[in-house]
Structure 1
C-alpha cells in the first residue's frame, strides 16, 4: 500500500493543507479539525478503497481507515500537511472551539462522565451478577440460586458490596472528574465528594423517611441550623459543588500571595464550597435532581409504548448530533436511585437502536454488489450488534439513506415493545447483544424478544426500501442500483 499517495489523495479531497487546522488519529480513524468542511470533496473520499467511511461530530471530521493503516497514513498526512504531532485530546480541544453553546454543554457532560463510566459499568455488571444469583424463578422454579445453594449466600453478599461501592461513593468519582474538567485540583474535588458522603451525615437514601418523621439531624451554628444530610447516589449537587470549588480555587490562586497559597487556598476552597453545598447549593440541586428523575420516570411510565417508540425512532438521529452523551448523566442518576426508578430505560432503547443499525447494515451486505460496500458493511454490521454503531451509521446507513430509515423503523417498533413490557437496565454496558447481563433478571426474556423484533423489522424494512429504491431509479432511467 502506497501510504504517501493515500495521504496525498485524502489531503486533496479535504481541500488541501490550508484547510486542515489540526490532525491526530485513534485506533481506526483520522481525527481532523477543518477550517471549512464545505470544501471537502466527499465523492472523491467515498471512491477511495482505503476509506471505510467518514463522519463529522463534535467539531471533528473523521475518516475511517482501519487499524494499522491509519497509523501509517497519519505519518505521511502530517508531513504533507506540515502539522506537528498532536494527541486526540489536542484535536478535541481544537474542535470544541467550533461548537455552539449547547454542543459545548453536551461535550462538558461527556468529558466529566466518560472517564468514570468504567467504574459505573463494573459496579453495574456486578449488580447484574448479584441479581442472577438472587432472582427467584430465573433458573429454578420458586427459588433463587442462593436459596437453592445456601453456601453461595456470602458470595452474593460479597458481590453486592462490590457492586454498590461505585454508587454509594458516586460523588467522589464525579467530584474528581468534574473539578478537573472545570479547571480545579481533582484531588480537592475528591475530598469534596468524600465530605458529601461522610459517615457522620444522615445517609442520603434515608432522607425522605427522616423528613417525614421530622428526625433530620442538624448542625446548630450561632442559632442557624444546617441539615447534616449526605448526598449518596446524587449527580446534580456534586456537579454544582465541583464547579463552585474549581472557580473558588482558581480565584484564590490568583489573589492569595504565593507564600501562603499552598496553605490558604485548599483550606478556604474546601471550607467555602462545603458551607455553600450544605446550606444552599446541595438542598436546591437535590430537589432539582429529584424533580428531574421523577419527571423522566413519569414521562416513561405515562407515555408507555408511544413514548418508547418515539424515543427509539429519534435515538439514532440524536447520536448523529452527539447529544446522546448528555444521557449519561441522566442514566447515572436513574441507576444510583434504582430503589425508586427501577433502573434505566435509556440503555435498553439504545440497545434496540444499535441492533437495528446493525441489522440494516447486514441487510445491505446481502443485497449490494458493490465490493467496497460489502467490505465495510460486514464488519460494521457486526460491530453495531455488539454496541458500536459509528462505522455502520456513518459508513453505510446514512450514505445510502434507505438503511437508516429501515433502522430507525426497527428501533421504534422494538422500543415500543420494551417500553410496554417495562424493560429496564441495572447497569451500563455494551448496548447490544452483550447488554443482556445489564438487564433486570425479570426482563431478560422481553429484552431478547425486543432485540429479535429490532433486527427483523430493520432487516426486512431495509430490503423492502432497497427494492423500492431500485425500481424508482429504473423508472427514472438513472441505471443506478440502490447499493
Structure 2
C-alpha cells in the first residue's frame, strides 16, 4: 500500500490542509478537527481501500483506518500538511469549542469517568467471579462451588476484597480524575476522596440502615453545628461536586497567595475548606440527590417493564451516534456502587442488546452486499460488534447502507424488551456483548443469553428483509 498516496487522497477529500485545525490518531482512527466539515467529500473517502468508515462526533471528524495502518497514514499526513501532531487531549480541547452546553456536559462526564473505567471494570468482573464461586444452585443443588470445594473458600474471600475495593474507595478514584479535569491538582482530589472514606467515619453503606433502625449517628459538635461523621463509600455525586469546589478554590488561592507561600498555604486552605463545606452541606445534599437519582431510575425501570426496555433499546443506537451514551457511565457507576438497593445496572444489558444487534445486522449485510471492500469490512466489524466494539460496524457499514441500522435498532428493541421484562441487571461493568454474561447477576444469565439471541435473530432477519425492498436494493450492489 502506498501510504503517501492514501494520505494525499484523504487530505484532499477532507478539504485540503487549510481546512485542518488539529489532527491526532488513536489505535484505529484519525481524529481531525476541521474548520468546515461541509467541505468533506465523503463519497471519495468511502471509495478508498484504506478507509473503513467515517463519522463525526463531539466536534471531531474521525476516519476509521485500522490498527497498524493508521499510524503510517498519519505520519504521511503529518509530513504532507506540515502540521505538528496534536495529542488526543489537545484535539479534544480544540473540538470542545464547537460543542453546545449539553455536549460539553456529556464530554465533562466522559473525561472524568472514562479514565477510571479499567478500575471499575476490574473490580466488577472480580465481583462477578466471586458471585460464580458463591452462588448456590449454580453448579450444585442447594450448594455453592465453595460449599462443595471448601479449599477455594479462602480464594473467594480474597477475590471479594479485591472486587469491593474500587467501589469502597470510589471517591478517591473520582476525586483524582475530577480534580484534574476541573483544572486542579489531581492528588489533592485524591486526598479529598480519602477524607470522605476515612475509616474513623461511619461507613456510608451502613448509614441508611442506621437511619431506619434509629441508631445514633456520630457527629462533630462545632460552634453549635452538629456535623455528621458519615463516610461516602460508593458515592459519586458528593465527590464530583466537592472536586469542582476544590479545583476552583485552589485556582482562586493561587491568584491571591504570594508565590513564596503558595505551595504551603494553597493545598492546606483548599483541602480544609472543601472538606469542611462537603461534610457540612455539599455531602448531605448530594448524597440525598444520589439516592433520589438511583431510586428514581430503578423505579422507572421496574415500572416501565417491557415497554420501557423496548423504547430504550430502540433509542440506544441513535443515542450512541450523538455520543450522549458517555453520560451513562456516571449513572451506571452509581447504580452498581449502590447495588444493595438498586440490584445493579439495567443500562448494561440494554447496551449489550444494542451491540449484538448491530453485529448481527452487519453480518447480515455481509451476505447481502456485492462490494468486496464492504464485505471485508462487514465480516470483521460484525464479529467485533458481537464482542462489544461497535464503531466499525455502526459507522463503517450499518449507517452507510441504512437498512442494517434499522434492522439493528429493531433487534435491539426486541432483545431489550425481553431483558427488561425479566429484570436482567448487571452487577459490574464489562464488555457489553457476548462475553458480558460475567457482568450479569448469576440468576439472570439464562435470560441475558435469551435476550441476546432474540436481538441477534431479529436484527439479522429484519436486515435481510429490508435489503429486498426496492429502495435499498441498489445500496447492496
Normalised to the residue count of structure 2, the TM-score between the two structures is 0.98
Corresponding position of 2:162: 162
In the TM superposition, what are the counterparts of 1:81-230 in structure 2 within 5 Å?
Answer: 81-212=81-212, 213-230=214-231
CA distance in 1, matches of 2:197, 2:433: 34
Counterparts of 1:132 and 1:32, CA distance in 2? 44
Q: State the 1:142 CA deviation.
A: 1.5
Query: How many residue pairs were aligned?
Result: 476
**Equivalence for 2:54:** 54
Correspondences of 1:68-467 after superposition (within 5 Å):
68-212=68-212, 213-467=214-468
- Shift in Å at residue 124 of structure 1? 0.4
- Residues 54, 62 of structure 1: 8 Å contact kept: yes
Q: Which residue of 2 aligns with 1:44?
A: 44
Distance 1:415 1:379 in 2: 25
CA contact (8 A) 2:466 2:472 kept: no
Q: Deviations over 1:170-217 (max 9, x none)?
A: 000000110011011111111100100111111111112222305111
The 1:473–1:259 alpha-carbon spacing in structure 2 relative to 1, beyond 3 Å, is closer
Contact 2:370 2:476 in 1 (8 A): no
Single out whichever of 74-83 and 401-410 deviates more from structure 2: 74-83
CA contact (8 A) 2:401 2:475 kept: no
Whether the 8 Å CA contact 1:467–1:482 is kept in 2: the answer is no
**Alpha-carbon offset, residue 482 of structure 1:** 3.0
Deviation string 1:193-245 (CA, Å, 9 cap, x unpaired) is 01001111111111122223051111001221111111111000000000000
Compute the displacement of 1:414 (Å): 0.3
1:152 shift after superposition: 1.8
Query: In 1, distance between residues paired with 2:423 and 2:356?
Result: 19
5+ long unaligned stretches in structure 1: 475-479
Is residue 26 from structure 1 mapped to residue 20 from structure 2 by the alignment? no
CA distance in 2, matches of 1:390, 1:281: 39
Displacement of 1:288 = 0.7
Q: Aligned partners of 1:153, 1:473: CA distance in 2, in Å? A: 58
Deviations 1:247-276 (A, max 9, x none): 001100111011111111111111100110
Structure 2 counterpart SS, 1:204: coil
Write the deviation string for residues 331-372 of structure 1: whole angstroms up to 9, x where unpaired. 000010010011111111000000000000000001111101
- Deviation of 1:5 (Å): 1.4
TM-score normalized by the length of structure 1 = 0.97
Is the 1:189–1:242 Cα contact (8 Å) retained in structure 2?
yes
Once the 2 structures are TM-superposed, how far is the Cα of residue 473 of structure 1 from its aligned partner? 6.3
In 2, Cα distance between equivalents of 1:472 and 1:240 = 51
Distance across 2 between alignment mates of 1:394 and 1:314 = 16
TM-aligned CA deviation for residue 398 of structure 1: 0.5
